[in-house]
């Protein structure tokens, strides 16, 4: 099997950890020197990945990531995804709203020897916080 296809399978397995509520999968797919640049400060190592997994699981108990598109080249994999969930726990300082959300995003992964070493995420946070009601939508007024 070619390397990029194998790496794509590893990233799909990473999403299985979220969709199957199985944190142990992260031990299989995350490198010891992993860095997640989607956080400040960045998440590091398997424990950093597990911390992120726990945060999502607490805030969105029914979280489901659907991979809309995924491809790999060399040591990189890109995934375009949609998260569908209900806001059931605290997230980013926002108390649970019980609102259904649908958020799209793109994540870039770097892999080495079958494990993810780096993640860079670009979720649509404007859509997320608008759906949670923390950002007011501007009303258009007809003249």
Which tens digit of pLDDT belongs to each residue from 50-71? 999 999 999 999 999 999 999 9
Residue 43, in any domain of the structure: yes
Q: State the residue range of the domain holding 9.
A: 3-81+106-122
**Mean pLDDT to the nearest integer, 41-53:** 92
Query: Alpha carbon of 54 to those of 5, 21, 25, 59, 138: distances in Å?
Result: 28, 9, 13, 9, 34
Counts of helices then strands in the chain (DSSP H, E): 4, 6
The domain that contains 52 carries what CATH number? 3.10.450.50
- Residue 136's pLDDT is 79
Report yes or no on 23 lying in a domain.
yes
Domain contains 89 = no
Domain presence at residue 110:
yes
Q: Does the model's pTM come out above 0.85?
A: yes
| Cα(103)–Cα(15) distance, integer angstroms | 15
Report d(CA 100, CA 131) in Å as an integer: 8
135 is a domain residue: no
Q: Is residue 142 part of a domain?
A: no
Tell me the pLDDT band of 91, cut-offs 50, 70 and 90.
Answer: very high
Average pLDDT rounded to a whole number, residues 74-84: 97
Q: According to the model, what pLDDT value does residue 5 have?
A: 81
Q: How do strand 100-112 and strand 64-73 relate by DSSP bridges?
A: unpaired
In a domain, 136, yes or no: no
Span between the terminal Cα atoms of the chain, in Å = 62
| pLDDT score at 38 | 81
Q: State residue 2's pLDDT score.
A: 73
In a domain, 130, yes or no: no
Mean pLDDT of 69-79: 96
Q: Is 42 helix (H, G, I), strand (E, B) or coil?
A: coil
Q: Is 138's pLDDT higher than 80?
A: no
Q: Is residue 143 predicted with pLDDT exceeding 70? A: no
Total domains present in the chain: 1
């Amino acid at each position: 099997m070619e390397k990029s296809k194998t790496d794509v399978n590893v990233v799909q397995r990473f999403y299985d950890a979220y969709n199957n509520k199985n944190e142990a999968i992260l031990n299989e797919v995350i490198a010891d020197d992993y860095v997640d640049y989607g956080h400040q400060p960045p998440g590091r190592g398997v424990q950093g990945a597990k911390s992120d997994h726990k945060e999502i699981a607490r805030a969105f108990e029914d979280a489901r990531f659907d991979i809309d598109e995924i491809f790999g080249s060399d040591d990189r994999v890109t995934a375009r995804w949609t998260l569908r969930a209900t806001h059931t726990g605290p997230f980013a300082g926002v108390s649970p709203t019980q609102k259904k959300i649908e958020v799209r995003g793109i994540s870039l992964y770097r892999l080495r020897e079958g494990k993810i070493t780096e993640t860079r995420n670009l979720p649509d946070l404007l859509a997320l916080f608008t759906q949670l009601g923390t950002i007011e939508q501007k009303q258009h007024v007809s003249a």
